[in-house]
Amino acid sequence: MSYPNLSDLINHLFSTNIQLPIAMFGAFVALAIVTAAWVGKKEVIRFEQLGKLPGVVISGNKPVATHLLISDLAMICAIFGVIGARIFHLLEYPREFIQDPLAMIFSREGFSIFGGLILGAIAGAVFLKKRAVPIVPMLDALAPSIILGYGIGRVGCQISGDGDWGTAANMSIKPNWLPDWFWAQTYDNNAIGTIISAPGVYPTPIYEVLAAFLIFALLWGIRKTHYKTGFLFSAYLLLSGFERLLIEKIRINSEYHLWGMSFTQAEFISTVLIIAGVIGIVKTTNARLLPKIVFSVVVVGALSACAQL
């Protein structure tokens, strides 16, 4: 069962009949931003105390504690993230956009998570650059909170049934020990009004939530170990890219065709992230942390590919 609006869930739980103009996915995006900003701020304070980030910077011709910029940074990344998510969605479906551009632009449906991350990151980097905040140490400080926010946002995808589910589930290969809901769901009353025939589709948001929280746990666990600047963010790039690349194998997305190859937008971006992450890790290698990274890659891969057994 899906709950596109917050009132849908409230009415289901308490047998009421109220109507609130609050979209469930939007509510979880807001929760993700607030939570990520709170966790990120705590880490930035710790980085200031360690001397990895300056304690004070100039913002608006006034000295401001670096960690106090996180709220503004989160807001800027969120605004440009929404714009980027919409732009990348339009790029993913160019034919539909050409046929009816206004409907595609102003639709409440269709957002590319990677598009939001990319444009949001660029806007955030510009914001930090203007205030002379070292970008790479800041990325290390925020890496755990970014993937945590991603996971919370995916919870919103699952509950609202926003269309980010997978292909038709093959029940014949489901392990007996797994519950049916973990393998296939029909997302009744989903946000986009699609009717899914039983047994349903792979609930990929659930897999991504588990993978994201696992990656967060790993990054959070190793954040206080000794590592070179850039290592933690590189690990985030590798793990998040690997997770999404595998999930794309059981998701339905528009494909690009180039030089005889077919790939989705997310597969291309994931591959770039993985390459960037590997390069970053090689340049900032901490031998003691590599086994944990490798182990996490294996576990994330197992979670993401569980429907491909």
Q: Please state the domain extents for the chain.
A: 6-308
Q: What is the dihedral of CA 298, 138, 269, 201, to 10 degrees?
A: 60
Residues 6+ apart with CB under 8 A from 35: 145, 148, 149, 152
Query: At 228, is the secondary structure helix, strand, or coil?
Result: coil
- Cβ neighbours around 22 below 10 Å, total: 12
The residue with greater pLDDT, 60 or 219, is 219
pLDDT recorded at residue 200: 95
Kindly tell me if the per-residue pLDDT of 304 is higher than 70.
no
By C-alpha distance, which of 150, 208, 177 is closest to 309? 177
User: Distance between CA atoms of 275 and 238, rounded to whole angstroms?
Assistant: 7
Counting DSSP H helices and E strands in the chain, the numbers are 12, 4
User: Distance between CA atoms of 226 and 92, rounded to whole angstroms?
Assistant: 40
Taking residues 235-240, report their average pLDDT: 93
pLDDT recorded at residue 309: 46
Kindly tell me if the per-residue pLDDT of 244 is higher than 50.
yes
Query: At 93, is the secondary structure helix, strand, or coil?
Result: coil
Taking residues 199-216, report their average pLDDT: 95
Q: Which two tokens stand for residue 263?
A: 């790939």
Kindly tell me if the per-residue pLDDT of 308 is higher than 50.
no
Q: What is the dihedral of CA 207, 210, 215, 220, to 10 degrees?
A: 170
User: Distance between CA atoms of 303 and 3, rounded to whole angstroms?
Assistant: 25
Q: How far is CA 112 from CA 138, 192, 275, in A?
A: 24, 16, 21
User: Distance between CA atoms of 132 and 4, rounded to whole angstroms?
Assistant: 42
What percent of the chain clears pLDDT 90, i.e. is strictly above it? Answer: 59
Across 14-18, 129-133, 260-264, least confident range: 260-264
Containing H/E element for 96? helix 94-99
Q: What is the dihedral of CA 37, 135, 232, 265, to 10 degrees?
A: 80
By C-alpha distance, which of 115, 122, 110, 19 is closest to 76? 122
Across 90-94, 125-129, 262-266, 288-292, least confident range: 288-292
pLDDT recorded at residue 116: 81
Residues 40-60 pLDDT 10s: 999 999 999 999 999 999 887
Containing H/E element for 262? strand 261-264
Q: How far is CA 110 from CA 8, 132, 253, in A?
A: 21, 35, 11
Is the separation of the CB atoms in 8 and 189 below 8 Å?
Answer: yes
φ, ψ for residue 72, nearest 5 deg: -65, -40
Confidence band of 261 (pLDDT split at 50, 70, 90): confident
Residues 177-196 pLDDT 10s: 999 999 999 999 998 889 99
Is the separation of the CB atoms in 40 and 74 below 8 Å?
Answer: yes
Is the separation of the CB atoms in 143 and 233 below 8 Å?
Answer: yes
